[in-house]
Amino acid sequence: MTLYKSGMETWDRGYDARGKQVWGAKTESYQYRRRK
C-alpha cells in the first residue's frame, strides 16, 4: 500500500495453496483518490 496526500494505491491479492492468484489486482493497483 502506498499513501499519498491525494489518495492511495494498493495491490491486494489472494493466492490458493498452489500459489495461483485467485483474487485481487493483476496488472494495475487499485487506486483510491480523495474527493473534495
Query: Most distant CA pair in the chain: distance in Å?
Result: 43
Give the per-residue pLDDT at 10.
95
Give the per-residue pLDDT at 7.
96
Give the per-residue pLDDT at 13.
94
Looking only at the bridges linking them, the beta strands covering 7-10 and 2-4 are antiparallel
The model's pTM is 0.58
**pLDDT, tens digit (0-9, with 9 covering 90-100), for 1-36:** 999 999 999 999 999 999 999 999 999 999 999 988
Give the per-residue pLDDT at 29.
92
Distance CA 27, CA 4 (A): 20
Give the per-residue pLDDT at 36.
80
